[in-house]
Amino acid sequence: MSLTLIRPFARGDREQVTSLVNAHIAAVVPGVSVSVQALLSQLEREPGEYIVDRWVTDRVTLVAEQRGRVVAAAHLLRYGNGEDTGECYRDAGEIRWLVCWTDEPSWPDASAAGDALAVACHAQLQRWGVSRRYADGALPAPGVYGVPAQWPHIRAVYERIGFRHEGKTEVIYLARVGALARPEAPVEGLTTRRTVGINGTRITALLGDARVGYLEVDTNLDAGPRVSRTGTWADIGNLWVEPAHRRQGLGRWLIGRAADWLELGGASRLLDYADEDEETYSAFLTAVGFTELTRTARGFRA
């Protein structure tokens, strides 16, 4: 076993840290990786988090080095304590993500580096004097947040330094767009209108002039394009059916209309998300052609 050096991230670490981050992404989402540019951008700010990111007052990225190799890395955030900061983030510190290589015969002490880095993260939060501490695994790739089931070594690191899962577990689903059901309209006279939505392109179901449901799909998952192989990916931002029109097949029909639209642009994969206890919605996603990709634990607190 050798000494683990904990130090601030340096620009010369960028390739090694990106490789480490991509190994963790690949275990969760097939065939997806981020560029060095995408990772460096996240270390500076996260424009996609246009509400929460503006509350961040400090950012620190640390690495753990063993024998000249970056074995673990972590990105930390400190949130402000003013009234303009959301209450649950006020005066909080967060390990935005922590990644480390797993032990192997040729490198048996990688987990020790992860533990040493986690202790250093705790020390940084202590120096900031934050009143609450969070931990997550929000890497700059679609579908990678919380602590996914594919990262038991990261969960173990968090738990060894006192973090406990106190939040919810989310299920991430993935579908091949070409395999999604394309049913006929369940009600005569249904039409669609496509507009800009809150979380992507909105496809609204209309019965005459009345809105009876809508679905939003976001195709801008590659950050233009700094995340490789997600230019053909999309996710569902919102799916809503008016209560009076539920259980008539309208949701399934909207999924089919969205699939037609996505295929015109060459999209081949579609993501969606559900809380673990949303059994009805999970059953709906499975029925229309989605497969469970992973389960991810959110809300680690110390």
CATH of the domain at 259: 3.40.630.30
Q: Are residues 95 and 207 in the same domain?
A: no
Q: What is the pTM of this model?
A: 0.92
User: Which among 239, 241, 226 is positioned nearest to 186, based on CA atoms?
Assistant: 241
pLDDT of residue 49: 87
Beta bridge mates, 208: none
Mean pLDDT by 10 residues, the chain (302 residues): 88 97 96 91 89 96 97 98 95 98 95 97 97 97 96 98 97 96 93 95 96 94 60 90 94 96 94 96 96 97 96
Domain boundary among 143, 165, 187: 165
Residue where the block lists tokens 């005459």:
208
Other C-beta atoms lying within 10 Å of the C-beta of residue 198: 9
Other C-beta atoms lying within 10 Å of the C-beta of residue 2: 9
Print the SS3 string covering 166-221. Answer: CCCEEEEEEEEHHHCCCCCCCCCCEEEEEEECCCCEEEEEEECCEEEEEEEEECCC
Let me know if residue 302 belongs to a domain: no
Domain boundary among 137, 165, 193: 165
What is the distance between the alpha carbons of residues 141 and 199, in angstroms, rounded to a whole number?
16
Q: Are residues 160 and 24 in the same domain?
A: yes
User: Which among 253, 255, 279 is positioned nearest to 176, based on CA atoms?
Assistant: 255
